[in-house]
Structure 1
Amino acid sequence: MRLLAVIVLLSLVAVCSLSSLVIAGTPSFGPFTVDLSEPTVIRMSGEIDAEDALNFRRALQYAPQARLVVLDSPGGSVYAGLLIADDVFEHKLSTVIPSGASCMSACSLIFFAGLERQAHGKLGVHQMTGGGATGTQLAVSDIIELMTRFEVPADVLAIMFRTPAETVYIFSDEEIARFNINRSARVPDGKFGDYPLASCSGWNGTLTKSSGQNGRNARMSGIVTEPDLVEYCERDPGGETIRNGGTKTVGECAKELAYEMNTRMRTVANCESGVLRFFYGSKPERTMKLPLPDDRSCASGLPPLIDQFQMLCPRMAQRYDLQH
């Protein structure tokens, strides 16, 4: 309740203060900047001060199309971090720590609020203090409340609360994958979905949106995430990892495939005519049309397209008894 009251107050002050900032023509709001050539991106660089929750509100007002917050900060004010994190969550913004950047302490609260979140740089956490025993207790209470809403893994919270305030725990690439710290966008029902891409020995993607099932314009879209690549390396169909006689760790395997991360794909199907079109990144379109040829082997490349058709057109797939 206390946090909500502060948020409402900040909203009122932000609206009153915005006009002078826009007239001045500046794209900077404390540590936040908005590049007019990228109106969907807000960048945060530098320490988080007490007034920066208001500055973030100003940045949001200035860039209403914002979808992504790029983070590079050593941390700072816990309560400002909590308020900014709450705004990120409520506006369904995504967060990213670019390679070479870092997001420590209070900045991590903002990172965890992202609808989609990707840590390519350094992510660090530790105990948060709020000024005196009572302030610290209240800060911890608010952190637990928000981190629960953000669905932060319990293992991550345990590390945060047991790391002394004077040190910082930086997650390794392996831990980021193991704790599922990175995540992609959610499908409409709030659950993650698999996007079939693998033809016996490849990786799958993550489904982010699906519509028009069984219709003439059935569609779905998705993205390749780090967990998708880690799952592929754990499965290790090519025998590349040490446990299967190879030379790489799972983390090294996934890192070598990092160029595939964030690749987007989409599939469009006319369920009535039995035609499916699949687009992966910048690669040429792939098409499947019913009835299928006898060769549905891995070499044909049909298995993932059949799986996609079953997801978008289950009635027609059942009629043709599609299998591979």
Structure 2
Amino acid sequence: MRSINITHPIYFLLTGIPGLENSHSWLAGPLCVMYAVALSGNTVILQAVRLESSLHEPMYYFLSMLSFSDVAMSMATLPTVLRTFCLSARHIAFDACLIQMFLIHSFSMMESGILLAMSFDRYVAICNPLRYSTVLTKEVIAGLGLAVVTRSFIILFPLPFLIKRLPICRSNVLSHSYCLHPDMMKLACADITINSIYGLFVLVSTFGMDMVFIFLSYVLILRSVMAIASQKDRLKALNTCVSHILAVLAFYVPMIGVSIAHRIGKHAPPYIHVLLSNIYLFVPPVLNPIIYSAKTKEIRRAIARMFHRIKM
């Protein structure tokens, strides 16, 4: 392999869906539709929250952060995915792959942190409604957003360097149409214990802890809701959480599915792992704007008013 350096390859070769190479041209269409829905849907929500003064509230500020994270995630994967499926252009430079890896993992971690912040918002709104405006001030919301971004940057900053220190000489072919840390470290012909331990630490200390705190927040929310005497008021309180619960499920269920498949589905066909990984990365950015537009009437009204102004 003339392209291979002593320590690492000059480029990696990306892979679409193993075993379905002849269908890549057919899969390109649905992928383009998904990217169009994700980018346009989240951009519309960002614009609606920005322009509509009635949406300048904590819940919608957090929704804006979630939409921004979804747009950024889509933009991080779009170039290589569409090049692989539409143009059969599989090459990606080594350093470019490291950058994409860092961005994908960072925006994924940011989304997890934002979902946790949104669960805190729902907890305060239902359990301490009288203190809602004093607890979730603009300064607190900005601080939570900054903490989410800072956490992702600090925790994931070592990943590119942990990969770059490894001599990669087994192969330069990746298993996906984008770059991920587990996929890259498996190509190393050296001890990857440090990478594995650090990857597990990142997974448990961020995504794992976020899931635990989201679960605990909803335990407290349910306890508070059950104390409400009126059934109508209980349903009204729970209805304000439906969109967030669906967004949490859309994000964490595919992620858990990917983790389970990697650990107990080692003998499954390769395309199963790739499809699950694609669902984990592509589906939440598509579903989130649909969920919040369908379940939140304030968002629907704001979007309708925005398009009416554009039409006028």
Instruction: Tell me whether the two structures share a fold, i.e. TM-score over 0.5.
Output: no
Comparing both structures, which one devotes a greater share of its residues to strand?
A: 1
- Which interval holds the TM-score relative to the shorter structure? under 0.3
Name the TM-score, length of structure 2 as normaliser: 0.25
Comparing both structures, which one devotes a greater share of its residues to helix?
A: 2
Higher RCO, 1 vs 2 (CA within 8 Å, ≥6 residues apart): 2
Name the TM-score, length of structure 1 as normaliser: 0.24
